[in-house]
Amino acid sequence: MKELTLYLDDLSPGQLSMKRLAGYLRALSAFYGSEEAVHFDRVDTGSAQLMSNIEDKAYPIVMNQVREVSGGLGKKSAVAAYKTLSEYMAADGTGGSIRSGGATIFQFPKVKIESPPLRIVKPSSVQGRLYSVGGKDDTIPVRLEGADNESLLCEADIAVAERLGQLLFKQVRLHGDGEWVRSSDGAWKLVKLRISSFSKLEDIGFKEAIARLKAAGGVDWNDIPTAHSNILETRG
């Protein structure tokens, strides 16, 4: 008999339920192959070590199958068993390796467990084309089409939704508490906005907007003899 052991790096034997242990052993048996010649021995202490004894005649066959899978080859059953073992390890937050005589002959990659994305709720405003107001519960789903044709998910109570419904397919600005999530690249994305108030936006062209700004007037700096010093003073 020759020994072959699966080391589960971050698991102790006490952390393995009987059901999970049975799952590991079932997949490990298919991974090794030569099932009639592979005999489970024990779970050793430290990192959970699933120790098996391989009959001498089958040992080269088992080792060859393990090496083929590590090279991306091997029987379908062995590749499927490898996938199952990897999924178990990912769910258990551990990596693993198969060792023989103290030497590592196969290394399972440890899946990096990412921290949950950062979420915040803050007063927010969004605007866009209102294209959906509807639902039968007390909280009514509301949808906007944003500047990049993205859908902005919002919700409102019945009273606000009833008034919003009169602006369907119009440009609106919505105010309320927005839930935002930060992605891995640092960008913030709106998850949902709880609407407290809103306003209708005028859909006007660029030329008309410029004309309105000119008509509104402003400060004529030519009429102020101390304009330069006033600007510097406001800057502190």
Flag whether 235 is in a domain: no
- 163 and 76 in one domain? no
- 96 and 20 in one domain? yes
Flag whether 32 is in a domain: yes
Per-residue pLDDT, 176: 96
| pLDDT, averaged in runs of 10, over the chain (236 residues) | 88 88 93 89 87 92 86 84 91 88 84 78 95 90 92 95 94 96 86 96 73 66 64 60
Flag whether 217 is in a domain: no
User: Residue 205 maps to which CATH number?
Assistant: 2.40.50.140
Flag whether 227 is in a domain: no
- 88 and 125 in one domain? no
- 96 and 123 in one domain? no
- 104 and 59 in one domain? yes
Per-residue pLDDT, 1: 85
CB hemisphere CA count around 227 (13 angstroms): 7
Q: Is 142 exposed, middle or buried (0-12, 13-18, 19+ CB in 10 A)?
A: buried
Per-residue pLDDT, 202: 79
- 198 and 148 in one domain? yes
The Cα 37–Cα 61 span in angstroms is: 10
**Final residue belonging to a domain, choices 108, 129, 151:** 108
Per-residue pLDDT, 119: 92
Flag whether 159 is in a domain: yes
Going from the C-alpha of 217 to that of each of 204, 210, 226, 231, 234, the distances in angstroms are: 19, 11, 20, 19, 21
Flag whether 127 is in a domain: yes
- Distant-in-sequence contacts of 144-150, Cβ < 8 A, 24+ apart: 144/172, 144/174
- 102 and 7 in one domain? yes
Per-residue pLDDT, 223: 62
- 97 and 148 in one domain? no
- 172 and 130 in one domain? yes
Does the pTM exceed 0.75? Answer: no
Closest of 14, 44, 173 to residue 4, by C-alpha: 44
Task: Using the Cα atoms of residue 130, residue 131, residue 134 and residue 140 in order, give the sign of their dihedral.
Answer: negative
Flag whether 216 is in a domain: no
Flag whether 79 is in a domain: yes
Per-residue pLDDT, 233: 64
Phi, psi of 49 (to 5 degrees): -115, 110
- 103 and 123 in one domain? no
Length of the chain: 236
Domain range for residue 43?
A: 2-108
Domain count, the chain: 2
In the chain, the amino acid numbered 37 is A
- 131 and 152 in one domain? yes
Per-residue pLDDT, 236: 52
The Cα 87–Cα 74 span in angstroms is: 19
Q: Which residues pair with 174 in a beta bridge?
A: 126, 198
Helix, strand, coil distribution of the chain in percent, nearest 5: 35, 35, 30
Angle of the 59-70 helix axis to the 76-92 helix axis, nearest 10: 70
- 140 and 91 in one domain? no
